[in-house]
Amino acid sequence: GHRVVLHTWNPFPRLPAQYHPMSQGAGFTSPGAGASPSVNNKRNQSLTPVTIKQINSAKQVNQSEFYIDDKPVSQVKIVGMILQVEIQATNTNYTVDDTSGIITVRIYTNEDTPDLNSGCREDVYVSVVGNLRELGGNRVVVAFQVNPLKNFTGIILHNLDVIHTHCKNKYGPLDEKGNQKATPMLATSNQTYGAAADEGGQDGMDKHQADVLKVFSTYSKNSEAGTSVSDVIEKLQQYDPNKIREAVDFLSSEGHLYSTIDEEHFKCTSD
């Protein structure tokens, strides 16, 4: 029979047994195993965490221009479970459900990257980063990163990011006392990140993760291949190399970095 899916958003959906914290990583690929976008086609965009319901109800100006909470949105991050996988010659389509709605996630493939998303299969929860588009009359996410989640934490953090972003865009940022500011003027994504990084991180980052991202942000734009992890280790000699590699995995899984020519070279998604 056909699967019946309810579309009442639940920020804490029930997970299959493999997502229990005691079974981290069983059968999954590394967080950095997302497919890379074409460097020449990428634009400078801020990454917006959203639900599929927000995507489906977004105001649309043209095939690639959408507004959520009256803010322009193009590059989005969603987290949900794969219901169906459709492999075609040039792309793979994932039907993804986050309990608020269902959407098609399309990732383009080629002969050089046949197995990058081998851990993405039916009933697996994934983190998706990509551009919101309308194709054939339907809204889709054209992804350049589809990473299997290891545990429940990624879902919780994503939903908290969604709520925080929605409140900030709708009501303005908090002041130093934690109260909502009355002014509708908001800092840009980059300004917000810069201030947070100076204080030791943003979006759950600690100091060394923020420093690693800063190095990639500074140097990866100089080359289509990006910056190698070994170069970052050389520039951040105050940190343990293993900690730097863990930071790269974290930043990749959170959609801040994507791999280029191999699993040692990365670029910032904001480049």
Amino acid 257: pLDDT: 82
DSSP 151-184: STHHHHHHHHHHHHHHHHHHH--B-TTSPBPS--
Number of other residues whose CB lies within 10 A of the CB of residue 269: 24
Q: Is the pLDDT of residue 140 over 60?
A: yes
Query: Token match 């810069």: residue?
Result: 194
For the stretch 234-257, pLDDT in tens is 989 999 999 999 898 888 777 788
Q: Is the pLDDT of residue 8 over 70?
A: no
User: And the tokens for 244?
Assistant: 């730097």
Taking the C-alpha atoms of residue 98 and residue 13, their distance in angstroms, rounded to an integer, is: 8
Q: Is the pLDDT of residue 199 over 90?
A: no
Q: Which are the contacts of 23, defined by CB distance < 8 A and separation ≥ 6?
A: 17
Q: Which are the contacts of 49, defined by CB distance < 8 A and separation ≥ 6?
A: 76, 77, 78, 158, 161, 162, 165
The residue among 82, 115, 148 that closes a domain is: 148
Q: How many domains does the chain have?
A: 2
Average pLDDT, the chain: 75
Query: Token match 């989005």: residue?
Result: 76
65 in any annotated domain:
yes
User: And the tokens for 199?
Assistant: 């204080």
Domain of 243, in residue numbers: 201-271
86 in any annotated domain:
yes
Amino acid 123: pLDDT: 92
165 in any annotated domain:
no
Q: In whole angstroms, how far apart are CA 244 and each of 124, 151, 185, 196?
A: 28, 22, 36, 19
The residue among 133, 148, 163 that closes a domain is: 148
101, 56 contact by CB (below 8 A): yes
177 in any annotated domain:
no
Taking the C-alpha atoms of residue 261 and residue 243, their distance in angstroms, rounded to an integer, is: 22
Q: Tell me, what CATH number does 239's domain have? A: 1.10.10.10
C-alpha torsion sign, points 196, 198, 203, 206: negative
Instruction: Give this prediction's pTM.
Output: 0.53
The CA radius of gyration of the chain, in Å to the nearest whole number, is: 18
Q: Which band of pLDDT confidence, cut at 50, 70 and 90, is reported for residue 217?
A: confident
| Angle at the Cα of 127 from the Cα atoms of 123 and 133, rounded to 5 degrees | 105
Taking the C-alpha atoms of residue 230 and residue 18, their distance in angstroms, rounded to an integer, is: 33
User: And the tokens for 1?
Assistant: 């029979």
252 in any annotated domain:
yes
190 or 228: which carries more pLDDT confidence? 228
Q: Which band of pLDDT confidence, cut at 50, 70 and 90, is reported for residue 197?
A: very low
Taking the C-alpha atoms of residue 221 and residue 170, their distance in angstroms, rounded to an integer, is: 32
Q: Tell me, what CATH number does 27's domain have? A: 2.40.50.140
172 in any annotated domain:
no
Burial group, residue 194, by CB count within 10 angstroms (0-12, 13-18, 19+): middle
Helix (H) or strand (E) holding 93: strand 91-97
For the stretch 62-101, pLDDT in tens is 877 899 988 898 899 999 999 999 999 889 999 999 999 9
Amino acid at 231: D
Q: Which band of pLDDT confidence, cut at 50, 70 and 90, is reported for residue 269?
A: confident
186 in any annotated domain:
no
